[in-house]
Amino acid sequence: MGKFLVKFNQDRCKGCELCRAICPKQLIAMKGPINTKGYTTAMIERQEECVGCQSCAIMCPDGAIEIWSE
């Protein structure tokens, strides 16, 4: 199985936590930096465990998540 890279656009994230709730591996946490809009942003904690399911990217209402195959 290939490795995946999850990228969050911090400026687009509004901290809604939908991505965190949908991640089947529970890899997303709301521990990212505070963005220019004042929201604490999402980040992936254990990148190496991502299976590339894209659930978080599909769920994100602001298109703040991209998943790339390494």
- Tell me the pLDDT tens digit for each residue of 3-12: 999 999 999 9
Binned at pLDDT 50, 70 and 90, residue 2 comes out as low
Residue ranges of alpha helices (H) inside the chain are 18-22, 55-59
Tens of pLDDT, residues 23-62: 999 999 999 999 999 999 999 999 999 999 999 999 999 9
Model confidence pTM above 0.85? yes
Q: Which residues pair with 66 in a beta bridge?
A: 7
Are 46 and 37 contacting, i.e. CB atoms less than 8 angstroms apart? no
Walk me through the domains of the chain, giving residue ranges and CATH numbers. Answer: 4-69 (3.30.70.20)
